């Protein structure tokens, strides 16, 4: 018996993390969604590319957007992570 004939619907959710981190990440996430791979994304609202990501994501109503909450910010500097 296959999943299709068992009467059980199955769904695969592919979430793209870090939307809004950079312009390149935004492009990659939206391209993956357009290609049918990504079904949802987490928007990093405190990052510089977040406003552009939110504006562009409005054109993709089927892309579910959640918020990526950052309770602390870390920066990689001189070979180590430091809290900002």
Query: Measured between alpha carbons, how far is 11 from 63 in angstroms, rounded to an integer?
Result: 15
Domain ranges of the chain: 15-83
Task: Check if the beta carbon of residue 21 is closer than 8 Å to that of residue 49.
Answer: yes
Q: pTM for the complete prediction?
A: 0.74
Give pLDDT tens digits along the chain (84 positions): 455 556 788 888 899 999 999 999 999 999 999 999 999 999 998 889 999 999 999 999 999 999 988 777 788 889 998 887
First-residue to last-residue Cα distance in the chain: 55
């Amino acid at each position: 018996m296959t999943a299709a004939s068992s009467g059980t619907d199955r769904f695969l959710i592919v979430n793209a993390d870090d939307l809004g981190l950079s312009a390149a990440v935004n492009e990659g996430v939206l391209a993956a969604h357009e290609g049918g791979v990504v079904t949802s994304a987490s928007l990093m609202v405190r990052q510089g590319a977040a406003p552009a990501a939110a504006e562009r994501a409005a054109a993709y109503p089927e892309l579910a957007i959640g918020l990526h909450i950052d309770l602390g910010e870390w920066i990689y500097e001189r070979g180590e992570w430091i809290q900002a």
